[in-house]
Amino acid sequence: MSEIPVKALLATLPIILFLLSLIYLDSYKLVGVPAVLGSILAGTAAAAVSFWINTWALSKLQLDPGLYTRYGSPAVEEVMKSLLLVYLIRSRKVGFLVDAAIYGFAIGAGFALVENLYYLQAIPNADLSVWMIRGFGTATMHGCATALFGILSKLLAELVSAEQIRVFFPGLLAAIAAHSLHNHFVVPPLLSTVGIMLIFPPLVFLVFRKSERSLQRWLRVGFDADVELLRLINSGELSNSRIGRYLQSLRRRFRGEVVADMLCYLRIQVELAIRAKGAFLMQASGFRAQPDPAIQEKLVELEYLDQAIGKTGKRAIAPFIHTKSHDLWQLRRLQMK
């Protein structure tokens, strides 16, 4: 019995440390601690539902346990783990690949913690090497497979659209394939664990570096462009710019008051974008942005103007407003403050 705490540490500590390192590497702290804890909780729920489905399938459908372990359970478990990420990406609460990786790994971590603790009480006499393999191998596989799903799904959502459910299939198939390959035991467990540690963590860290550079570039270029546009609007020089001439041309298609609403909509969006990007830059420098009570008023006004302009009007000014996933995400971040 004295070995139980050591076994529990071996089974759970590696994936917890890896998750903490991802959070530490997130320079802009895009995913807060409550969101990470919520994702871990979602992973534990996914583990409980998967256990019930797997138990039912094996007992009621009389399936071959070996085949089901290799093909059935990976599909069930990866689908269950993916549900929260599908919701987060479709509702544009994931802005960058960094977010997707952290959310995915946290969900996988929650799943792995429940699974390993279950096996700890089911086979308490197993050798210490078993728990080392489950902690560094199986648990890491669970976290990285779901992170892989999140990363690929976020990439495709940016290229196509998060509204199209088909963007989630490639990531899901990749996660199932990685999980299934692990369950085939093609190589000895210890060698498989070494392979997982050599491949998956470096891959996730590589994505982190790429996404951080993308975020820095978006903040730098986007901030400068937004500041310049706001200067043109506030100084009255907008009419002499390309955007101003385009808005003037819209008077042939829309009423004057609608065009005025479009300009107000553009100005408020730019102000909010600058506020959001400024907050991220402050966070990266170690400062905390103070809450601004005027933000909620601007968001309410933005919603009113959105209705006043209508879908046709928004399509007309789409080239100049924040409609990309990163931009919509930053506005949602402001709504949560």
Q: What is the mean pLDDT of residues 133-160?
A: 89
221 domain residue, yes or no = no
The model's pLDDT over 261-284, given as tens digits with 9 standing for 90+, comes to 888 888 888 777 777 777 666 666
Reported as a pLDDT band with limits 50, 70 and 90, residue 1 is very low
The model's pLDDT over 299-310, given as tens digits with 9 standing for 90+, comes to 778 788 888 888
Least-confidence region, from 138-147, 230-239, 328-337: 328-337
Verify that 145 and 254 share a domain, yes or no.
no
Verify that 131 and 249 share a domain, yes or no.
no
Q: What is the mean pLDDT of residues 234-263?
A: 76
Token look-up 């802005």 returns 95
Token look-up 């138990």 returns 55
**Is residue 77 predicted with pLDDT exceeding 80?**
yes
**Is residue 54 predicted with pLDDT exceeding 50?**
yes
224 domain residue, yes or no = no
Reported as a pLDDT band with limits 50, 70 and 90, residue 336 is low
Residue 117 burial by Cβ neighbours in a 10 Å radius (0-12, 13-18, 19+) = middle
299 domain residue, yes or no = yes
Number of H helices, E strands in the chain: 13, 0
Average pLDDT of the chain? 81
286: left (phi over 0), alpha (psi -120 to 50) or beta: left
229 domain residue, yes or no = no
**Residue with more model confidence, 163 or 182:** 182
Q: What is the mean pLDDT of residues 114-124?
A: 88
Reported as a pLDDT band with limits 50, 70 and 90, residue 317 is confident
230 domain residue, yes or no = no
CA neighbor of 149 nearest in space, from 125, 169, 165, 164: 169
Distances (CA, A) of 13 to 8, 131, 137: 8, 11, 12
For residue 303, give its domain range.
236-335
58 domain residue, yes or no = yes
Check if the beta carbon of residue 84 is closer than 8 Å to that of residue 103: yes
| pTM flag (> 0.75) | no
Domain total for the chain?
2
200 domain residue, yes or no = yes
CA–CA dist 206, 191 (Å, integer): 23
Residue 209 burial by Cβ neighbours in a 10 Å radius (0-12, 13-18, 19+) = exposed
- Residues whose CB falls within 8 Å of the CB of residue 58, separated by 6 or more in sequence, listed in order: 65, 68
Q: What is the pLDDT of residue 52?
A: 96
* Tally of CB atoms within 10 A around 293: 6
